[in-house]
Structure 1
Amino acid sequence: MPLDKYGVLKGTKVNYYRDEPDNFGNFYHGNVEVVANNINYRCAIDVDSQKTRVQWRIINFKAKEFNLISVMADGWHHLASNEVSGAIDYIRWKPMWVTLRIPILFLFPEWRLRIPPWLYSPKLKQFESSEIRSNVPFKIIVLDQSSFWKAGNNIDAIQQLESVLNQGDKVFIFGQFFNSGYGVHDIHQNQGDPINGGHSGDNAIWQDGATIVQKPDGNYVGFFNKFETQSFKTDNQGHPI
């Protein structure tokens, strides 16, 4: 079921702190304080590694890949869980794809692919797409993402998050709005949780959380985080496959 308060907060980072550690030295969130339209928001980014390791990717992308969100005014914006709203999906959002683009060659009376068979290994390929560039058709192999994610404990993840936050003050925080007060949580992947694992009721596509920072050059860098138990492949309901 989609998160009912999913969206993005655009604003200015004014403070950052980690949760206070517990008796075992563990902490579970990096907290970003954001101001937008004179309202203070707290954004709690979950890196809890008590029961399972956390995984993350840091991705740099161009301004043109983020136009839909970047032109929004400061403040909180509800986003529908679909491809055209500006929502993020770790599996389906193109800036997160790692791809091979292979031109389709004309052979005899029909178009055929001359692609090495190993590219079709189910361990390598996430799915396929296609596009036309300069009148040349291309087959796009979207590679399986699992090998591009790093994994570690809360300390490892929080240090990487902080390296992203240090690159700018204009931030875009994707997640679910607090039930009470001003803030954002569920700032992590929100699909692929094991069925009957305690969180599968929140599984859905196009509703993943993220922390994205605008850099001084106008481009962007994002911190994307998930839990090791969450699948890299999901069906159209967000359930693991």
Structure 2
Amino acid sequence: MPFDHYGVLSGTLHGHHRDQPDDQGRWFHVNMEVDAPDGRYHCAVDVDSHKSSVGVRWKTFTLDAAALEPAVTLPPGYHELDRRPESGALDYLRHPALVDRSGVLFERRPPSWLQQLLDLFGSRPWHAGSNIEAATALEVILVPGQRVLVFGEPFDNRPHADLGMHNVHQNQGDPADSQWWPENGIWQDGATIAHRPDGRYDVFLNKFSSQADRTDGAGHPPT
């Protein structure tokens, strides 16, 4: 079934750091510290998989504030979101501002001239590469002191549990033989969004190569 809780944290970025590498030399997360009225949140953004055979994909682009309403108008703090577009929830495959309209997948970043042409026509292809490349792409948009919005699943909210967000990535399309199949759902995708000085928002989306690019109404890959 989909997550019991899904929402967005709005706050001020205090700082960020990468996980220490494991014995395979991989970075698993970029960890963001985000200040909100109820405390400092730890937000773990997946930039690799614990399975070396399952890669990460990502994209970054910039949107006007209107494309992300009503989420960008919420006050600082964590906000539970209904799994529907009107709430401000995100869905990589259905949200009109997030969908890749090119249908093109590049295994590596395309040449700059081609990327500029694709951007002109509203194309936002997924990039595939190393965990270091994915982490770097996210870190480029992170500036301490700026406002950020982190979409995903909140940490266990029992008393004395740490404040934080995880599952900050696509949360649908996992295959039937995956342990994450039961958590598939639409309008519950995670993302990292940073407010720019010019009033627009930088968006970082991330998913795993095992996740489908199309899903049914339950968030499962089509059969």
TM range (shorter): 0.7 to 0.9
Q: Confirm whether residue 219 of structure 1 aligns to residue 200 of structure 2.
A: yes
| Greater shift in the superposed pair: 213-222 or 166-175 | 166-175
| Greater shift in the superposed pair: 163-172 or 25-34 | 163-172
Q: Residue 64 of structure 2 is aligned with which of 56, 62, 69?
A: 62
Q: Which runs of 4+ in 1 moved over 3 A?
A: none
Q: Confirm whether residue 170 of structure 1 aligns to residue 151 of structure 2.
A: no
TM-score normalized by structure 1? Answer: 0.78
Alignment correspondent of 1:14:
14
Alignment correspondent of 1:97:
99
Q: Confirm whether residue 74 of structure 1 aligns to residue 76 of structure 2.
A: yes
Alignment correspondent of 1:209:
190
2:190 & 2:38 partners in 1: Cα distance? 23
Structure with bigger gyration radius: 1
1:38 & 1:168 partners in 2: Cα distance? 17
1:45 & 1:51 partners in 2: Cα distance? 19
2:12, 2:145 within 8 Å by CA — same for their partners in 1?
Answer: no
Alignment correspondent of 2:127:
150
Shift, 1:25, TM fit: 1.6
Q: Confirm whether residue 188 of structure 1 aligns to residue 169 of structure 2.
A: yes
Shift, 1:14, TM fit: 0.4
Shift, 1:168, TM fit: 6.9
Alignment correspondent of 1:23:
23
5+ residue gaps, structure 1, are 101-122, 125-142
Deviations 1:20-72 (A, max 9, x none): 11223212010000001151100000122423110011121111112201111
2:18 & 2:3 partners in 1: Cα distance? 25
Amino acid aligned to 2:11? G
1:167, 1:215 within 8 Å by CA — same for their partners in 2?
Answer: no
| Cα pair distance change 1:168/1:230, threshold 3 Å | farther
| Cα pair distance change 1:240/1:168, threshold 3 Å | farther
1:6 & 1:227 partners in 2: Cα distance? 19
1:163 & 1:204 partners in 2: Cα distance? 29
Amino acid aligned to 2:84? N
- RMSD over aligned Cα atoms: 2.0
Amino acid aligned to 1:31? N
1:45 & 1:159 partners in 2: Cα distance? 12
Shift, 1:98, TM fit: 4.2
2:74 & 2:27 partners in 1: Cα distance? 33
Amino acid aligned to 2:43? C
Q: Confirm whether residue 235 of structure 1 aligns to residue 216 of structure 2.
A: yes
